[in-house]
Amino acid sequence: GLGHVGAMKMISDGSLNTRSAYCSTPYSGITPETYGTLSYTPEQIESYMRLAAEHGFDIACHAIGDEANTIVLDCAERTHAHGSIEHAQMLKERDIPRLAQLGLAASIQPQHAMDDRDVITRFWGNPAGIPYAFNSLHKSGTKLLMGSDAPVAPLDPWLAISAAVFGTESSDREPFQSEQCLDFETALASSTALGRTTLQAGDAADLVLLDCDPSELESPEAMRAMPDHVLATMLAGCWTYQSHVSRL
């Protein structure tokens, strides 16, 4: 009873670290010059989106480079596809409000920004867009879906929340793009299935019981240590874990 059919997954381009994310400007410091690679032609992407929309499926379209994101948004606009853009790592400023306008969510992985910040400086030295534009997307009204992209990054929601809120893994290092950091309430809501931080009658009882208030934490180190503060977990109303001090 916990399984269900999800979205139609699509891959529009590659990744930053392999220099295959499809961009509108060339990668810096790379010879011969490269802009990355599209996995499918724009016509194919549009065709797949149309097929998904006609059969009532959401899309979950991987797009990392700014040009790949533009193409995916253009295709979604023409086909009225609904669902999410997976990663949306670099977006042209003019494309940032389009996700909300088209009703698309941004499925983001804030920990990737921590892993990629030095690679961004190396390979996206002259970007035509904004990498990891979390706060800009939020302010434009885009629904954020925060995750880990496991096993690429550890399956730990507190790493994502910490990265989104503090913009750094260490108090000794300046935040990466502090203007794109999210407030705690937004980061926590974006980490839940329903996009809010309070429980209501009728909600699925998938819960984590903590022994401290994470909203009061003041450092990335403390936030990343939150797994040590889990007293119990509940899935669909059944306890799946209880520490020795919280037997209920």
pLDDT in tens, the chain (248 residues): 778 889 999 999 999 999 999 999 999 999 999 999 999 999 999 999 999 999 999 999 999 999 999 999 999 999 999 999 999 999 999 999 999 999 999 999 999 999 999 999 999 998 899 999 999 999 999 999 999 998 988 999 999 999 999 999 999 999 999 999 999 999 999 999 889 999 899 888 899 999 999 999 999 999 999 999 999 999 988 999 998 765 55
**Euclidean distance between CA atoms 58 and 76, whole angstroms:** 11
Interaxial angle between packed helices 157-166 and 110-123, expressed in degrees from 0 to 180 and rounded to the nearest 10: 50
**Euclidean distance between CA atoms 64 and 34, whole angstroms:** 15
H or E element at residue 85: strand 83-87
Q: Which alpha helices (DSSP H) does the chain contain, by range?
A: 42-54, 66-79, 96-102, 110-123, 134-139, 157-166, 184-190, 220-224
Fold that domain 8-198 belongs to in CATH? TIM Barrel (3.20.20)
**Taking the model in full, what pTM does it have?**
0.92
Interaxial angle between packed helices 66-79 and 42-54, expressed in degrees from 0 to 180 and rounded to the nearest 10: 40
**Euclidean distance between CA atoms 210 and 101, whole angstroms:** 37
Q: Which residues of 220-235 are buried (b: 16+ CB within 10 A; e: fewer)?
A: bebbbebeebbbbebe
